[in-house]
Structures are given as structure tokens and as C-alpha cells.
Amino acid sequence: VASSSWQDQPPGAMAGADSDDSLYPIAVLIDELRNEDVQLRLNSIKKLSTIALALGVERTRTELLPFLTDTIYDEDEVLLALAEQLGNFTMLVGGPEYVHCLLPPLESLATVEETVVRDKAVESLRKISHEHSPVDLEVHFEPLVKRLASGDWFTSRTSACGLFSVCYPRVSSTVKAEIRQHFRTLCSDDTPMVRRAAASKLGEFAKVLELEYVKSDIISLFTALASDEQDSVRLLAVEAGVSIATLLPQEDLEALVMPTLRQAAEDKSWRVRYMVADKFSDLQKAVGPEITKNDLVPAFQNLLKDCEAEVRAAAANKVKEFCENLPEDSRETIIMTHILPCVKELVSDTNQHVKSALASVIMGLSTILGKDNTIEHLLPLFLAQLKDECPEVRLNIISNLDCVNEVIGIRQLSQSLLPAIVELAEDAKWRVRLAIIEYMPLLAGQLGVEFFDEKLNSLCMAWLVDHVYAIREAATCNLMKLVEKFGAEWAQNTIVPKVLGMANDPNYLHRMTTLFCINALSEVCGQEITTKHMLPVVFKMSNDQVANVRFNVAKSLQKIGPVLDSNCLQTEVKPVLEKLASDQDMDVKYFAQEAISVLSLA
Amino acid sequence: KGSLRNQKWFSYCIAMKTLFWNLNITKNAPVAEIHDLFCKKLQQCCVLFDFLDCVADLKGKEIKRAALNELVESVATSRGVLIEPLYPEAIKMISVNIFRTLPPSENPEFDPEEDEPALEASWPHLQLVYELFLRFLESPDFQPSLAKRYVDQKFVLQLLELFDSEDPREREYLKTILHRVYGKLLGLRAYIRKQINNIFLRFIYETERFNGVAELLEILGSIINGFALPLKSEHKQFLVRVLIPLHTAKSLSIFHAQLAYCVVQFMEKDATVTEHIIRGLLRYWPKTCTQKEVMFLGEIEEILDVIEPSQFIRVQEPLFKQIAACISSPHFQVAERALYFWNNEYILSLIEENCQVILPLVFGTLYRVSKEHWNQTIISLIYNVLKTFMEMNSKLFDDLTSSYKVEKQKLLPKKWSLHTRIKLLDERSSNIIEINIYKKTKNNNNNIKWIGDIKRELKSL
């Protein structure tokens, strides 16, 4: 334990503390910084700013910070909290003038083993770097970066990678040259962890460099990292390549970055190709229309036909975005002659992830291609995917129906849609059923009330008696959304009678579903329907022999109370609740009393 | 596309060289002829086949399998086959066949303990290639000075990456092969250790996924065994910064046995690392995973089994605090595992020697848990432990018993309401303030002001 005097004394006033904190005197906080229990140390660290405020700026600088720097060997959880706190400490040490006092503890934190802690320390260092004056940046901050960059163990060098870009713009040209040199060294570090860190920060660093250095330095680093012996490094270079491409003038792209990017798109490791596919839209934006036409289209075709499903799925995900961003003059031709043939093959891919990735975007093509092409070329694909064996594929198609609706109207699909919906609605996996329920309101809106009443209404009612609670719950919520769409009158005619009919079901779970539906529907149906039709049923159920039903009656009354008028509450609801409040079951009593007090009927 | 080209080339090969495919390498043939044949077969075994399509090119696959078999056979049985010109050809054939980017796992949440591993489809060929490589390395004709030109750093790096294979059969071969490479090519040793380091660090801090950790640790186990004394700082660093943090991995159970073996090997080499190890394990002690806690306890027992008494004294306090915490775990397997330490005669002798320190550390826990634990086995185990202690040092035991009871009496009225508790806290703080005034008035009168603030604050509670 450090011997600084403040540790055995309580500090002063506790400014800025809220009422909760006032139960927690500062002395205890400080005491607990040294407690054996991690949780207590953690609590205390999280209130570090309170401690600092109480100590005042000077003692924070001269006593608290040295103490923290000394005790940096602690549980990672505590260190993480500390690293985060110190990023917001500038004012607590006396403002920008003194912000460099925070560097020593953060420097130690930036060298610890645990990645999460280190990253947080770097994040805080980046934050406070902006609060340094240009002079302090050179006197205090930059030397820290250099120390980290030449540290023995890889952890400090990885941390250094994230700090170059924040200090580069505000230092003198000599220091800039040094920083570039350090970055270069780290890019060819012996340890792959460091090269990975450097590769992941290459794009960000390129952005703050002068263009001439981007061309002279960054390009060679990029080329080297993109042909690293480890694919984990190469794949990170891809992302950097995209950033670099946005910085260069169009005429330099072909010579400086395209050879490397082309090579990445054909890398022997699928991870690298996956990365290219994943970043394809960004890449497309960065290189502009000409290169897109000449290079990216064939590259994209290859990725869509890649031998690894992982890569195909990533590329399939980008189909819509890629097509959208094609140059307008040749968009349709490119899609029809180059992209669509690949897409057609993907519809019958052997891997379900690929198909489902495609299904999530394929509908978007219809807006790009227009009505005629959609009907002729895309519709058969949609229909094929609607019949896919994998439910996720079908779901993805159904969830994106709105795009097609705008272009050709949903009727074109409705014949195939219905069997697909029915099948999903009855899928053996409850998660699939749950997913299709969630699209019901959307479908209902697009298909119209007639189609709905005729074909889908019975499904929605069937879900109410599903054997999985989550489905019954979702079905209840679905009814509410349908009523919002179709109106109270529709509700009264079509669903309310069916819902209320379930109140006589021999299965108590189904009787309870009636109550849950009433809870959900009362507000959207309004006072009249609630009072006239629903309330009598609720009252009747207060005599149910199952206690669970009875206490749910109490809960329902509490829930629908606000919809009812006060007369009805006093004369009808109150007696029922009072009766329930004297029920022999403890839970029924409890919820009845709760309802009475919430509705202020006591 | 690539495989198509291969197929074509292969058809060409068949057409052109069917004759020699069918030629057997016989021991009686002239040596030059054997070498020539061997070399051609190696070249032809560079042709790769598509095993994902299991019916494609069955004839070709069979021919290659037979050729590989023949090569294996001939390396294993005949002397004088491995002449210098064959080295590059052999290593090239091996590289072409085994070095590949491993496919993405079919199951993204692959759990090596629960799920069946994805087996390598091309195993019928791959196995023979590995077998050939192994025979090659183990052959009495093998000359490291020739091999090192081809089995270089780049080669080894790719070999290490293959340890991530999901197929346990492949990893098993790789393990033996890397072990031989490490044993025979001395120039690569430091490099191999460094790269294994990198794989582990990446596994611990970046991906948490690597299928071959157990195999690599197994190799390391025997490498550590051969370390010279005194231990180089590189090796100590490996222990402290790589092996100990490996204990934090989620999938520890898969490689824990090998890891614990490595750790114990280090201790047996050099007892001075004991404290690093124990403090490291205590630092990473599992907080929520009882299964891992049981593993940690198992490792601690292995360590204590070989610990030097002088080292034991250095760590006994933090160690037995942790053991006491384990004994009071509501999970009976954790408590049970910790209590089993008392069945170990060597550990028991260490405890006995240091009874004065250890008994006070664990007594309270033992006493309390013996009254409270839900599990009957634990209670009877504790009873035995208490009995052992009583026999060890009855005087100390009696003292602790009576002081425990006194303490408990004192604790009884401590069921304060929140209100009174805060009041007590007040008193405590006021006491500190008294000291504070005394100390502070000497330096700085201003501080009186904030002492007033604190008093106000405490009053407002």
C-alpha cells in the first residue's frame, strides 16, 4: 500500500453526488479501493471521479494518480473500469493544462495482457490526446507512443498502433517523420499480433497522412501486409485497401491499389476472399464506376461462384447493394448479363446460408430492374425460394415482400405465397412459427382485408391455442396489430367473438389466452366494445375454478380499467375485485388488492 | 477451375505413364532405376483429387493411393532410397498435398466436447502423405543437413497452421511429425517455439478458437522436459505470459491435462517458478465456472504433489484462502475436490508442518460449512479434516474453537437495520476525522474546512 497521506484520511466535500451516493461516504470509497473483495474495488473504481472531485485537482494529481499507477496489478475487470474512467478525467486533474498527468497510468494499462483492458486504455488515450496542446503532444504524448511502439512485449506495440493517427496531424514535420518510421517498423513486426494491429489501423493512419506519403509509404506497407504469410493479417489489409482507395485520385488507383486488391479477391485463403466480399460495397464506392465495370464485376461474379459457401454467402448478401451502386448507364445490362446468371445459380445452392443470404436481398433487385424484368426474370426466382426446403429462406422472402409490392403488386405472388405462409405457420420449430407471426401485420396490410379474412384469419386464431407460450403470446400481440390496421369494427365482427368463445374452453391455458387477448385488445377496440362484449366475459371468469385464471382476471381488470368509465368501475368492477380480494388463494388476493389500489377503488 | 486443370493433367499422366504407374519399386532393381521411379511417383502424387465429390475419378484416386502406399513402403523398408535429389521432390509433394487453407467450420459454434468433428474428406490420400512424411523423418537415412534446406521456417509455419484442423486424426499425425522435426532440425527449434507462442497468444487474446492446443501442449511438455538449467528468461516468459493465461480459455477442459503437465514440468525443472505459477493460477481462478474450478483444484494438487516445502511456505497463505473459499462453495464437487487434498499424504505433511499458519486460515470455514452445507458427503469429509487437525495440534484447535465461538457471539447482534449500520459507519468515520484533525492541522489549516463538510455530510445521513 502506498503511503500517501490521503489514504488514511477521509477527503472533503462530496460534490456532484446524487442521493444514492450520499449513503456512501468518500472515506469508504477510498478504503474499498484496497479491499480484498473485487466487487468492492470495482464499485469504488467506478466512482473514481467522485473521489477525485472530493480530493480536488491537486491532490488527484499528486496522490491519487500515483497511487493508481502503482496498483495497476489488479483484476482485469478493475483495470477495465479504471482505463475507462481515466479517459474522462481531464477536468478532474485541472483541465487540458494538466491532462498529461493521466498518461502514466494509461501507459501501464496499455501494456497489460488482456485485450479488452488494453483497447479501453488506447481508447482513453485517443480521447485525451485531443485535449493536449500541440506542445504537450510533442513533449508528453508522442514520447509515450514511441515507448509503446518499441516495447519488449507485443502488447505495448499493438497498443501503439492505435495511437499514431491521433497525434500525427498536430506535430512538427520532424516528429511526423519519426511517427511514420515507427509505423513502418510495426508493419513488419516479428509478431503477427502486432502486424494485425498495424494492418487494422493502416486505413485510419493513411487518412491523416499527406497524400505524397500515402503514395510513398502507405502503398508499400499495404502491399506488404496484403501479401503477409498469415491470412489473418492479409484479410485486415483488405479493409485498409478500401480506405486507401478513397484517398487516392482516380488515376492512381489502377497502378497503386488495384493489383493488390485483385490479388486479395483471388487469395488462396477463403477468409481473405470472404473479407473482400464483405467489404465489396465499400470497395465499389471507393474505386468508382470505371474500375467497377472493368474489374469489380468479374471479381464479384467469381465471389458469387466461390468454392467456399462462406464466401458465396457474404457475396450474396451484397447483391442488391452492388447492383444499386452500378453506374446508371450500364446498370441494367450488367445485371442482366453478368449478375443475374450467378444469382440464378445461387437460388439452388447446396448451402442454406447462401440461399438465405440471397433471399434476404434478392427482392430488392425488383426496384432496380423494373416491372417487366421482375415479372420475367425475378419472379420465377422468388417463387422458387418461396418453395425452398429451408424455412429461413422462405421467411427472408416473405419479410421483404414490400419491395416487390411496390413494383409488381403482391397479387402476382399471392398464389405461391399462401402455401408458403401456411407451411411456415405450421412449422415444427416454434421459432419459425414465431417469425412468421411477426410478419403477419405487414402481410395483412399488403394483401388487404378480404384476402386476409379468407385465407389467413384462421391461421391467426390457430396460433392462439399453440402449445408453446411464446407463440400464444405473439399471436395475442399480432391480433392487436391487426386491429390497429383494420379497425375496431372489423375486430368486433371477426376476432372478438372467436377470442371470447375461448373463455369456455376446457383447457385453462386457453381460457387464460382469452384474458391475455382482452388485455391486448381493449385499448385498440375502445370503450364500447370493451364494456359491452369483453367485460362480461371477464366477470364470468372471476368464478373460474382455476386460481391462475382468477388472478389473471384481477390482472386483466387492472389492465383494462383505464379504458372503462368511472361509473362502470365503481358499480361493476369494484365488487368483483372485492370478491377476489377475499379469495381463498393467496395470489388471487394479492393481485386483486393490487388492482384495487392501482385503480384507486379502495 | 483448379481441380479441372488437375483432372486434365491427370488424364494426361495416365495416358502417358500408365506403364510406370504399374511398375513396382522392387528391391532388386538397379538403384538408379529405383531413384528415378521414386522421383516420378513423387511428382505424380502432386496431382490433387476432389474428394467432396466422392464418385469423381475413382480410378485416378485408387492409382494415387497405391502409389503413395508404395512410396511409404519403400521408405520404410529399403535403405539407401533417400538420396539428395529426392528431398526437394518429397517435400514438394508433401507441401502440395497437406498445405491448404482449412475450410470454415461447418458448425460455427463447434464445441469440441459436444460435437462430432468434421472429418477431412481427402483423408485416404492425406493419411498416406502424412505417413510418408513421418517415415521420411524417421528413416535411418534421413539427413537433417539436407532436409533443412526444404523444411524451412515457411514450411514449419504452414505445418503449425494445420494444427487447427478439426480432424483429430490429422492433428495426431501433425503432432508426431512436428515432434520429429523439432528433434531433428535444431535450427528450427527457437522458431517453432516462437510460433507456438504466437498461436497460443492469438488463441487466448484474439480468437479463442484453435483446435490443436492440446497437441501443441503435448509437444511442449516434452520440450520443456529438455530445457537446460538455469531456465532462460524466454522460457520463463513463456510460462508466465502464455501457459498461465491459457488457463483463462473457455475451452480449458479440452487441453487442461496437457497444460497441467507442462506447468508441472516447469516446476520440476526449476522450483523457483512455483510462486509465479500458484499466484498466476490464483489470479485467474474461475469465478463462475465450477467445472473449471474443479480442474484448477486438480492442477493445484498436481503442483502440491511436487512442491518443495520452502516454496510451499511462500504461497500457503493466498493458496489456503482460496482453498477455504472452495470448501465453502455450494457446489459440492468443488468443495469435495478441495477437501480431497487432505487425503494426499504429502500435502498433509506440508499442512502439518505449517499448521500454525494454515489452520487459522481454514478453521472458520471448516467450522461454518460443517454446520451449513447441504451435502452430507461434504459434511463428513469436513468432519474428517477437522479431526485430522485436532490430532495434529489439539491446543491450537481448542484455541481456535473457543475464539470462533466468541467471535460468533459478537457477530450475533450485528443483524443491524440499515439505519444503525450507517450510524456505526458514522462513528468509524468520525474516528478517522479525529486522527485527521490531529495530523492535518500541522500542515494545512484549510483542511479543517472540509473536515467540517464531511461532518455535515455524515449528519445529513
What does each C-alpha distance from B53 to B1, B61, B88 come to in angstroms? 14, 12, 31
3-state secondary structure of B25: coil
Four-residue CA torsion sign, A118, A119, A124, A128 = positive
- Residue A458 one-letter amino acid: S
* Residues of A with Cβ-Cβ distance to B432 under 8 angstroms: 8-10, 27
3-state secondary structure of B1: coil
d(CA A418, CA A423): 8
When pLDDT is averaged across residues B300-307 and rounded to a whole number, the result is 94
DSSP conformational letter for A97: G
Confidence label for A422 from pLDDT (cuts 50, 70 and 90)? confident
Q: Which of residues 312-331 of A touch B (CB under 8 A)?
A: none
Specify the higher pLDDT residue, B333 or B415.
B333
Give residues with Cβ within 8 angstroms of A438, minimum separation 6: A474, A478
Determine contact: A270 vs chain B, CB below 8 A.
yes
pLDDT of residue A450: 85
pLDDT of residue A414: 74
d(CA B117, CA A360): 30
Average model confidence (pLDDT) across chain A: 87
B432–A14 CB contact, under 8 Å: no
A25–B450 CB contact, under 8 Å: no
Q: Which of residues 181-200 of A touch B (CB under 8 A)?
A: 191-193, 196
Nearest CA to A583 out of A560, A534, A549 is that of: A549
Domain boundaries in chain A? 487-601
Average model confidence (pLDDT) across chain B: 82
Four-residue CA torsion sign, A113, A114, A119, A124 = negative
A9–B435 CB contact, under 8 Å: yes
What residues of chain B have any CB closer than 8 angstroms to a CB in chain A?
Answer: 101, 103-104, 154, 157, 198, 201-202, 205-206, 241, 245, 283, 422, 425, 429, 432-433, 435-436, 439-440, 447, 449-451, 453-454, 457-458, 460-461
B454–A10 CB contact, under 8 Å: yes
d(CA B370, CA B380): 8
How much of chain B, in percent, has pLDDT values that exceed 90? Answer: 48
* ipTM of the prediction: 0.75
Q: How many Cβ contacts (< 8 angstroms) between chains A and B?
A: 74
A7-21, A61-75, A184-198, A203-217: lowest mean pLDDT where? A7-21
B245–A268 CB contact, under 8 Å: no
Specify the higher pLDDT residue, B37 or A137.
A137
- Closest CA of chain A from B367, distance in Å: 22
* Residues of A with Cβ-Cβ distance to B429 under 8 angstroms: 10, 25, 27-28
Residue A1 has pLDDT above 80, yes or no: no
Residue A433 has pLDDT above 80, yes or no: yes
Confidence label for A36 from pLDDT (cuts 50, 70 and 90)? confident
Q: Which of residues 562-581 of A touch B (CB under 8 A)?
A: none
Confidence label for B252 from pLDDT (cuts 50, 70 and 90)? very high
When pLDDT is averaged across residues B217-227 and rounded to a whole number, the result is 93
Residue A25 has pLDDT above 60, yes or no: no
Instruction: Look up cell 437495520; give the residue.
Output: B417
Confidence label for A42 from pLDDT (cuts 50, 70 and 90)? confident
- Closest CA of chain A from B391, distance in Å: 32
Residue A103 has pLDDT above 60, yes or no: yes
Give residues with Cβ within 8 angstroms of A308, minimum separation 6: A270, A273, A274, B103, B104
What ranges in B186-251 are assigned the alpha helix state H? 189-202, 213-225, 233-238, 244-246
Mutate to test the interface with A, among B429, B448, B456 (most CBs of A within 10 A): B429
- Closest CA of chain A from B81, distance in Å: 34
User: The domain A487-601 is classified under which CATH number: 2.40.40.20, 1.25.10.10, 3.40.1380.10, 3.40.50.170?
Assistant: 1.25.10.10
pLDDT of residue B23: 53
pLDDT (tens digit per residue) in A243-265: 999 999 888 888 898 999 999 99
When pLDDT is averaged across residues A312-328 and rounded to a whole number, the result is 91
Confidence label for A57 from pLDDT (cuts 50, 70 and 90)? confident
A433-442, A469-478, B283-292: lowest mean pLDDT where? A433-442
pLDDT of residue A387: 80
Confidence label for A578 from pLDDT (cuts 50, 70 and 90)? very high
Residue A550 has pLDDT above 80, yes or no: yes
Residue B89 has pLDDT above 70, yes or no: yes
Confidence label for B82 from pLDDT (cuts 50, 70 and 90)? confident
- Closest CA of chain A from B26, distance in Å: 39
pLDDT of residue B458: 47
pLDDT of residue A305: 92
B48-52, B98-102, B130-134, B222-226: lowest mean pLDDT where? B48-52
Specify the higher pLDDT residue, A164 or B439.
A164
Instruction: Look up cell 492425406; give the residue.
Output: B126
A193–B206 CB contact, under 8 Å: yes
Residue B221 has pLDDT above 90, yes or no: yes
